[in-house]
Amino acid sequence: MDRTGQCLCGAVKFVARGVQPDKASVCHCGMCLRWSGGPWVALFLESIDFTADEGLAWIQSSDIAERGFCNRCGSSLFWRLTAEGKYQGTTSVTLGALDGALATCGYVRIGEWRKRVTDSGKTRFFADAVTRLEALNS
Which CB sits closer to Zn ion, 1 or 34? 34
CB of 112 to Zn ion, least distance (A): 14
CB of 9 to Zn ion, least distance (A): 3
CB of 124 to Zn ion, least distance (A): 18
- For 61, counting Cβ atoms within 10 Å of its Cβ (0-12 exposed, 13-18 middle, 19+ buried), the class is middle
Which CB sits closer to Zn ion, 72 or 80? 72
For 66, 94, 126, the CA distances from 53, given in Å and listed in that order, are 17, 16, 34
The rounded distance, in Å, linking the Cα atoms of 55 and 69 is: 8
**Chain contacts with Zn ion (rule: CB under 5 A):** 7, 9, 11, 27, 29, 32, 55, 70, 72-73
